[in-house]
Structures are given as structure tokens and as C-alpha cells.
Amino acid sequence: MVEWIRWTAPAAVAVTVTAPAHAVQYLSVGAAQKLAFPSAHFVEVQPGRVWKAEASGHVVGYFVFDRVIGKHLYIDYAVALDPGGRIRRVDILQYRESYGDEVRGASWLAQFVGKSSESPLQVGNDIRNISGATLSSHHVTEGVKRIVNFAKSLR
Amino acid sequence: MRRARPLLGTLVEIGVTDAGDGNPDAAIEAAFRAVEQTHRLMSFHDPASDVSRLNRGAYAQTVAVDSRTYEVLETARALRARTSGLFDIAIAPALQRLKLLPGSARPEPKLPELAAASPIELMPGCQVRFKHPDLRIDLGGIAKGYAVDRALGALRSHGIVAGIVNAGGDLAAFGPDMHVVDIRNPRYPDRILATIRVCNEALATSGGGFDPFRSARPAAPAVIDPVTQRPVGAILGATVRAPSCILADALTKVVMLAGEGSSALLDRYGASALFVAANCNIHLTADWQESLSLAA
């Protein structure tokens, strides 16, 4: 039969302890570009943010890099679009939670000017997994919608 | 190799730790497709999903659903019977009234007694009929777990030897590797409550929603007691380990409602549980002492 063990929470649980950051790097921008358009070469349309993918002399799609920033979390992700502006794929490139000091917000354009597809994303790899209160992908999906809208101005 | 995409309303991560003879890129792509398909079929929000089609029209006439949706409905029916209604997918109206799901709920549905037979009729050929006009289902308590199991199946059928799929905390691993999983403290999700070593099994956690974009505090859990139709309060969060993710997912809801009263069910399904009571006391089944370390 099932036996239970009980732990009484020590009063100290409410005391602040340095919270671990949870950070994962999945893909660099360059690797994500290759996955989205394996045989294309990329031409920057907006430095570090938007590239046109070209193969055999014509446009095969667009690749957009974005970051959604919150108080304690930022997520870098990339959206690959076909020439008609439809989503081909969405990949998360980097995920970083941090509670020690808040993630600093910044104008998204200022963040990325000058970032090339070879720029290393700085966060170290953390192989741990996490289970717990459900994280919503709402902020990323809102970002994807913004990008699809923005893509209309690209063509 | 690990990849992540926004799916199922959360972030889904797929990792291959030993590709064996398989192609990890193709396997991961197939696994994400399996998750996307589950999402398309079972989303409450998408008007074209099987769930929406059932909620709109399965009382008026029989509705044919995808075999995967049917499989989940069969599992849900068995769970409802075995948990005496503690697990019940007919919870959508309560979630709508609490504004946890969109749409307007009809006034208090007069559903048949929970002890009675399921109000969802499952017929051959994946045909489904609702026996009550006010019945609305939400597969949110079980679809993530199912999607994880399907994604794992896709990895395996592509020859992958070891891998892990994590859909916003509902996860499952296969192969000989030990995966280390941190469990968030349900009250303080920016802190770790426990670390669990997972090998060839599934894990799911129920608790509040958590938006670290805005705050380090969790929202109240969206687990509804089918009897009172109100959210639970006595338990802040529960983690269940089970042989499959669909089971782990469903059983977290039962543990949130019944706490130590879920013993017989956990035993029956070969599952283990950990939960945090409102007074912050931690309860865990004795069978995972070697795999679990509490943080404090």
C-alpha cells in the first residue's frame, strides 16, 4: 500500500535564497537560418534582425530574429517566412529566466543593431529540465503575430 | 540536441540524447509535428478543432473525430470512472465562468449525478455523441500529456535510442539516460522545491500559471473540483510520476483534489506523487526516495 512521507516546511522557506537562473541555448542565429532554408544564402535587410533568404537568384523566404523581454525572462526566437509572408517555422533560440536582478528591458531595435548571424548568444548551456507552474507561450506567439504583420512591408 | 517551439500554449522542448541510427533532425521534426497535430485536434480555442466541433454540435448529432481524439476521450472516460469523477473533462463551463477559458458559460449546467454513466457516448468508427445539451468538454488537463507521449513515439519510430520531451513541465523520457528535473516551488516558482531523477518514465506538475515576464509570483491553479465547480485551494501544487505522460497529467489533477486520498489510485496506476499543501507542508509517496531530493 502507498505510504506517505511528510515534511514540515521550515520557517526559513520564506527567507530569500539566491534563486537559480534557468537558461538554455538551443540554436544560434546561423544554425536556425540553415534549418529554415538549408541551401539559401542570407542578405541582411535589417542588421541583426531581418534577412532575405535567396537561392538560385530568387527570394525563397525571410528570416526574422526577435526577443521578447519581460521582468524576469527573455526569449530569443526566430520566425522563417515563405516569400508570401506565411510562417514556415518558429524556433526558440535562447531562453533565460533570472531573478537575482531583473532582466533589463530595452528598445528591441537597439538590442540587435550590428548583431550578425555569427554573433554568439552569450548564455551558457544548462542541461537541466524544469517542471512546475505552467509557462505560457503567449508572449512569443504575440511576437510571431507582430512579425507576420511586419512581413507585409518586406515585399 | 535540444529544440524548443511555442506549442500547446506553452514552450515545448524536445531533446535527443542518443540518436542511435536515426536522424535527430528528422526525428525532432516528426515529434514536433505530433505535438502540433494534438494541438490542432484538441485545442479549446480553435473553432476547427475536434473539441470545438464536439462542444458545438455533439448533442444535436453524432460527430466523427480523429482517432487520436477518440483515444483521449476513451482514456478520459476510464479515468472518470476510476477516480469517481475527480477527473472529469466536462469541466469547461466552470472554467468559462471563472474566466479561465474564453466563451460564455451557460448558467449552472444540470449534469447528471457524477456517479452515473459518462454523459459522453463513444461509438464505433470514432463517432461521439453528447447525451446532455449543456455538456462542454476541455481536454486541457490531459492533452499535453498525450502530446508528449505521441512525440516520444515519433522519436522512437525514427530510430532514436534516448530522448526527452517537455511540454511546459509535462515531460517524459525514454532510453537508459537519467534526466535531472527541477521542480518549481508552487508558491515561489522562481525557486526550486525538489530535484527528481527521471529515467524511462513521465512526470507532470499542476500548479498555478506562471508569467515571469510580469512577476515572480504564480497565479492560482486552474484545477476545478467537479463537485463544487470551484477551484481547489488546499493544495498549491502537485507532481506525479507515472509510466505515461497522459496518466501523469491526469493524476496531478486528482492529487490536487484528494491529496493523500489519492493513494489507491496512485497504487493502481503505478504512480508516485509529491504535493505542497497550502500551509507549505510537503507530502510525498515513499516510493521515490532515491530519485527525489528536496531542496531545503
B90-126 pLDDT tens trace: 877 777 776 777 776 655 555 555 446 788 999 999 9
Side-chain half-sphere of B141: how many Cα atoms within 13 Å?
30
Shortest Cα–Cα distance, A78 to chain B (Å): 10
Q: What percent of chain B has pLDDT over 90?
A: 64
Q: Report CB contact under 8 Å: B285, A73.
A: no
Q: Report CB contact under 8 Å: A131, B264.
A: no
pLDDT surpassing 70 at residue A127 = no
Q: Report CB contact under 8 Å: A132, B214.
A: no
Q: How many CB atoms lie within 10 A of CB A61?
A: 22
Q: Read off the C-alpha cell for A71.
A: 521582468
pTM: 0.88
Q: What share of chain A is helix, strand, coil (3-state, %, to 5)?
A: 20, 35, 40
Q: What pairing do the DSSP bridges indicate for beta strands B208-210 and A134-135?
A: parallel
A40-78 pLDDT tens trace: 999 999 888 999 999 999 999 999 999 998 888 889 999
Average pLDDT over residues B229-250: 90
Residue of chain B whose alpha carbon sits nearest to that of A70? B213
pLDDT surpassing 80 at residue A91 = yes
Q: Report CB contact under 8 Å: A35, B25.
A: yes
Residue of chain B whose alpha carbon sits nearest to that of A94? B4
B153-190 pLDDT tens trace: 999 999 999 999 999 999 999 999 999 999 988 888 88
Q: Read off the C-alpha cell for A93.
A: 533560440
Shortest Cα–Cα distance, A53 to chain B (Å): 21
pLDDT surpassing 60 at residue B47 = yes
Asked if A99 is an interface residue toward chain B (Cβ–Cβ < 8 A), one would say: yes
Q: Report CB contact under 8 Å: B6, A22.
A: no
Asked if A104 is an interface residue toward chain B (Cβ–Cβ < 8 A), one would say: no
Angle at Cα B64 formed by Cα B59 and Cα B67, nearest 5°? 130
The pLDDT of residue A60: 96
Contacts of B182 in chain A (CB under 8 A): 20, 22, 128-132
Strand spans (E) along chain A:
4-7, 22-25, 41-46, 50-55, 58-69, 73-81, 87-97, 129-131, 134-135
Contacts of A4 in chain B (CB under 8 A): 260, 263, 283-286
A7-29 pLDDT tens trace: 886 654 554 455 567 888 899 99
SS3 B53: helix
Q: For all residues of chain B together, what is the average pLDDT?
A: 89
